[in-house]
Amino acid sequence: MTTLYGIPNCDTVKKARTWLDAQGTTYAFHDFKKAGVPAQLDTWVAQLGWEAVLNRKGTTWRKLDAAQQAAVHDAPSATALLRAQPSAIKRPVVEWDDGTVTVGFAPEAWATRRN
């Protein structure tokens, strides 16, 4: 089954959920705030790269001081930050039913998927 990971009040997550619902795609929703960061974070970072999973444009990243930002320089340091600050994960993360993982909302790319 497809799983969408994110935060319910995130505008991009809302758009993604609306789009999936409109397509009739069955999915589970994993709320980072309530359920925490899943163990799959390591897999996401391994498959996509830590740079793709870390949201450097978001408020959480911008609120970190320069030393905290500078300390994120590789997969282990990024993973540690993402576990401590789930809001720094780029959203949504989607684990599709075929086993692939995507980050961000991309309706054009998602339209080619058949669930």
Domains and CATH numbers, the chain: 2-110 (3.40.30.10)
* Active-site pick, 2, 3, 10, 12: 10
Compute the distance between CA of residue 15 and CA of residue 20 in angstroms, rounded to an integer: 9
Instruction: Give CA–CA dist 107/69, Å, rounded.
Output: 31
Q: What spatial distance separates the first Cα and last Cα of the chain, rounded to whole Å?
A: 9
pTM of the model: 0.93
What are the tens digits of pLDDT across the range 5-58? 999 999 999 999 999 999 999 999 999 999 999 999 999 999 999 999 999 999
Q: What is the mean pLDDT of the chain?
A: 95
Determine contact, residues 48/7, Cβ cutoff 8 Å.
no
Asked about 36 being catalytic, the answer comes back as: no
Q: How confident is the model at residue 114 (pLDDT cuts 50, 70, 90)?
A: low
Note the helical H segments in the chain: 11-23, 32-35, 41-48, 50-53, 59-63, 66-70, 75-84, 107-110
